[in-house]
Chain A
């Protein structure tokens, strides 16, 4: 009985310590955040790819016309059949393609990257934070 009580006490102490660590540790994992999509890349990652990237702007044509990442091509679901041949003019087999849309809340770039993958573009990704993130890090 004493042994059981001691085991229970040890368990309680261990749980208390684990709970405190989970609450205050600076590198604690987030249990609420959804797992990261393997096709999502950060700007820092794209910078390591030494410029061999074809940027795809998944936003509307008017947003693309207003401003976009230099040398990006516009490709969205609304005008896919007209724009995809233009994408192919710029795409080289084996090249990394990174789609972006307005911001983190926007899902278009994720969907465009998935469609590119199913079309045969093996290295298709989407940019975390989208155009907003790019603009923030590339301010003049």
Chain B
């Protein structure tokens, strides 16, 4: 009687499969010039049966998540590597990665990737425009290095000789006023302004602003 009771209790315990994550949230600090942030999420199957990861879905097209294989035996470890393409993003970014297993299809694990992408320089505005026939008066773009950021503004060039730039240094290397003037506004013109910096030293960044007559 006692044996059958124990046996029935044992059989009543369901097969146990679960992933234990080292961390479900990664906070990363990007540097200027970084093209992506990479976060690794390690896990172990702490259950007694195999786990199959069915699907890894990211909340943003800018983020990819790679998994080496799908099946994990009890005690086996694995990892998901998430990469977020920085592009022109700045500031605080939060992306999610949803991991679904065959054993728990309706309760995905949500991994979070938090990245802080520094704003090295602030430009206001990033473009100036003249309407065709408008008086070709100079317009100004203010460029300023974010407080405490180790970056120096070196020079500003226009790629169009018909749109001239003149730079006033409010604070050398740190704050500039860029005065932009088209030669005339009788025909459409476009210039890309290249703002050259010294940071980071191994791959100095160039920032862009635009001037347009249309």
Instruction: Please give the number of chain A residues whose Cβ is less than 8 angstroms from any Cβ of chain B in the complex.
Output: 22
Residue of B87, B125, B129 touching A77 (CB-CB under 8 A): B87
Main SS at interface, chain B:
loop
Q: Is A81 part of the contact surface with B, judged by Cβ < 8 Å?
A: yes
A88 pairs with B89, CB closer than 8 A: no
- Knowing A88-B212, A119-B126 are in contact, say whether A93-B190 is a contact too (CB < 8 A): no
B87 pairs with A84, CB closer than 8 A: no
A59 to B125, CA, bound (A): 24
A80 pairs with B88, CB closer than 8 A: yes
Range for the number of chain B residues in contact with chain A: 20 to 34
Least distance between B160 CB and chain A CB atoms (Å): 12
A119 pairs with B87, CB closer than 8 A: no
A76 to B214, CA, bound (A): 23
Main SS at interface, chain A:
helix
- Knowing A84-B210, A119-B126 are in contact, say whether A78-B190 is a contact too (CB < 8 A): no
Q: Is A120 part of the contact surface with B, judged by Cβ < 8 Å?
A: yes
B87 pairs with A79, CB closer than 8 A: yes
B131 pairs with A93, CB closer than 8 A: yes
A120 pairs with B208, CB closer than 8 A: no
**A120 (CB) vs chain B CBs: closest residue:** B125
- Knowing A77-B62, A108-B60, A120-B124 are in contact, say whether A88-B88 is a contact too (CB < 8 A): no
Q: Is A16 part of the contact surface with B, judged by Cβ < 8 Å?
A: no
A78 pairs with B126, CB closer than 8 A: no
Given contacts A77-B86, A119-B126, 9 further A-B contacts (CB under 8 A): A77-B89, A78-B62, A80-B88, A84-B127, A85-B210, A88-B129, A88-B212, A107-B60, A108-B60
The 7 closest A-B pairs by CB, nearest first: A120-B125, A80-B88, A77-B87, A119-B126, A78-B87, A60-B61, A77-B89
B contact residues vs A (CB 8 Å cutoff):
60-62, 85-89, 124-127, 129, 131, 190, 192, 208, 210, 212, 214
